[in-house]
Amino acid sequence: MKPEADMRTHVLILLCGISPAIVTETVFALAQSGDLPKQIIIITTITGEVCLRKELWDSGVWASLKENLKCDISFAPNQEHLRLLPDGDGNAFDVVDTLSTELAGSFILDVLRQYTENPDTRITFSIAGGRKSMSALGALCMSLLGRHDDRLCHILVNPPFDDPALRPRFYFPTPGQVHVDREGNVHDSGSARLTLSILPFVHCRYLIEKELKRLPGNYSRMVALASRSAEQFDSPAELELIPDLLTVRIGREEFKLQFLLFLLYWMLAERRCDGQEHLYHRKDLCEEFASFTELVRKRMPQKYWYRCSGLLEEGKIREETLNKRISDLAAELRKRNVPEPFFPTRGKGVYGLGLEPGQIHIRMSAGSPES
C-alpha cells in the first residue's frame, strides 16, 4: 500500500514476452491494493512488441481496463513506454544466447537506473513476463539497484484464467464475461483471483552506492563490483575510532556519531581491547559509563561536553536514557549494513562488542594534541 505522505511518482516496470496479459493483470492487482502506477515501462523483444500492440491497443483491451479502473496512466505504444532490447549496434534483438543475455542485463540495468537514481520516483518491478533468463536478470538487476522502497513482484492468477488457451483470452476480471477452456467448460471472468506476490530481495546497491554515480550500466562489471564489495565481509573487518573527530571507520565505511553515541561505542571498544567481559546489567553499564566519561573528559574537546550537559550530571546518566542511546547506536550501525559483531549488544541485556581485540584501533587525529 502506498504511504499517504508519499508524493513520489510510482513507476511500474515490467518484463514482457508474448503474454501481454501480465500487464493488465498486474495493473488490476495494483489498483485493488490502492497503489496504481502513474507510468508504465515495458522491457520487451521484437516479438513481444508485436504482441503488445496487437493485444493491448489494437484490440481495445487497454482502453477497456482504463475505463474499468477510471484511471489515467501514462502508457502508450511508443519508444518511451516500450523499450526494445538492443544489440551492441542499437538494433532490436531477442535473448537467445550468452552474448544477448549479457546485453539484456546491461539494458535492464540502464533502464532501471533512469528511475532508481531519481529520488522522486519509486518502482514496482515485475518479473512475471519474458523468457526465464530475462526474469532472472531482472531480479538480479533489482538486487544491484533497488532501493529499500522499491518492490520486486510477480503476478499470480488462479486456474483456468492463467491458461493462454482460454477463449477469449483473460486480461482482467470482468464480471459477466465468460471464457471457455480447452475442455469446453465455461467460466465467469468475475471469479478470477489476482494476487500480486511481493518478492524480498537483497539490496546490494548500498555496497556500491558511491560508484553507481560514475559507472556505466555494464551488467558484468557491476556484478563484479558488488561481489568485491561483499568480499570485504568474508575476512574480519576492523573497527577504527578517532575520538576527537567522533569518527568511526568499519572496513571501507566511514561516518560520524553524535557525541554520547560515540562515547558509548568508545567505552565498549576500550573494554574489548582490554579483554574485559561483557556487561550484563544496565546498572553496570551506567556505572562503567560514568567511570569512563571521567577518564576521558580531558582528552575530548570541551565543546562536546557542553552539548550534553543536560544529560550528564557529574558524569552520571539515567539507565533509561543510556539504554535508549544504545538502541540509537545500534540503529546508526544498522543503517550502514554493519556486520553483527560490530553492534553494541550481544543479546538482550548484554552489552559488548563481538570483535577480537586485534580488530579494534583507537587513535586521535593528526591535529590532536595527543597524536
**Cβ proximity of 68 and 27 under 8 Å:** no
| 90 has a pLDDT exceeding 60 | no
Q: Are residues 224 and 247 in the same domain?
A: no
Q: Compute the distance between CA of residue 292 and CA of residue 157 in angstroms, rounded to an integer.
A: 62
Average pLDDT of 32-38?
A: 95
Share of the chain above pLDDT 90, in %: 55
- pLDDT confidence band for 5 (50 / 70 / 90): very low
Average pLDDT of 156-168?
A: 95
Average pLDDT of 212-236?
A: 71
Q: Are residues 99 and 204 in the same domain?
A: yes
Q: Are residues 279 and 224 in the same domain?
A: no
Pick from 206, 230, 254: which residue ends a domain? 230
- pLDDT confidence band for 215 (50 / 70 / 90): low
Q: Compute the distance between CA of residue 24 and CA of residue 28 in angstroms, rounded to an integer.
A: 6
| 315 has a pLDDT exceeding 50 | no
Q: Is 39 in a helix, a strand, or coil?
A: strand
Nearest to 353 by CA among 334, 335, 332, 339: 339
Q: Are residues 291 and 214 in the same domain?
A: no
Pick from 184, 202, 230: which residue ends a domain? 230
- pLDDT confidence band for 262 (50 / 70 / 90): very high
Average pLDDT of 244-270?
A: 91
Q: Which stretch, 123-127, 242-246, 367-371, has highest mean pLDDT?
A: 123-127
Q: Compute the distance between CA of residue 174 and CA of residue 192 in angstroms, rounded to an integer.
A: 9
Assess if residue 169 is contained within a domain: no
Assess if residue 188 is contained within a domain: no
Q: Is 24 in a helix, a strand, or coil?
A: helix
- pLDDT confidence band for 1 (50 / 70 / 90): very low
Mean pLDDT for the chain overall: 86
Q: Are residues 213 and 295 in the same domain?
A: no
Whose cell is 583507537? That residue is 362
Query: Which has more confidence, 231 or 48?
Result: 48
**Cβ proximity of 116 and 138 under 8 Å:** no
Domain count, the chain: 2
Assess if residue 165 is contained within a domain: no
C-alpha cell at 251: 572496513
Assess if residue 17 is contained within a domain: yes
Q: Are residues 211 and 309 in the same domain?
A: no
Pick from 170, 202, 230: which residue ends a domain? 230
Assess if residue 186 is contained within a domain: no
Query: Which has more confidence, 46 or 127?
Result: 127
- pLDDT confidence band for 4 (50 / 70 / 90): very low
For the chain, how many residues are written? 371
Q: Are residues 116 and 254 in the same domain?
A: no
Say what the pLDDT of residue 62 is. 97
Say what the pLDDT of residue 131 is. 86
pLDDT in tens, 317-357: 677 788 888 999 999 998 887 877 899 987 777 899 988 89
Assess if residue 151 is contained within a domain: yes
Q: Are residues 223 and 287 in the same domain?
A: no
C-alpha cell at 238: 576492523
Give the dihedral sign, CA 136/137/140/142: negative
Assess if residue 164 is contained within a domain: no
| 303 has a pLDDT exceeding 50 | yes
Say what the pLDDT of residue 3 is. 44
Average pLDDT of 254-265?
A: 92
Assess if residue 170 is contained within a domain: no
Q: Are residues 259 and 197 in the same domain?
A: no
- pLDDT confidence band for 220 (50 / 70 / 90): confident
C-alpha cell at 368: 590532536
Instruction: Report which DSSP code applies to 237.
Output: P
Nearest to 229 by CA among 210, 249, 256, 201: 210
| 95 has a pLDDT exceeding 80 | no
| 316 has a pLDDT exceeding 80 | no
Say what the pLDDT of residue 7 is. 78
Q: Are residues 205 and 56 in the same domain?
A: yes
Q: Compute the distance between CA of residue 360 and CA of residue 241 in angstroms, rounded to an integer.
A: 8
Say what the pLDDT of residue 336 is. 83
Residues facing 188 on adjacent strands: 178
Average pLDDT of 229-252?
A: 81
Say what the pLDDT of residue 295 is. 86
Q: Are residues 222 and 319 in the same domain?
A: no
Min mean pLDDT across 120-124, 196-200, 231-235, 359-363 is at 231-235
Here the CATH number for the domain that contains residue 147 is: 3.40.50.10770
Residue 358 domain boundaries: 239-362
Say what the pLDDT of residue 249 is. 94
Alpha helices in 33-147 (DSSP H): 46-52, 61-69, 98-116, 132-145
**Cβ proximity of 250 and 259 under 8 Å:** no
Say what the pLDDT of residue 232 is. 60
Say what the pLDDT of residue 231 is. 65
Q: Are residues 14 and 79 in the same domain?
A: yes
Give the dihedral sign, CA 28/29/34/35: negative
* Omega of the bond leading into 168 within 30 degrees of 0 (cis): yes
| 214 has a pLDDT exceeding 50 | yes
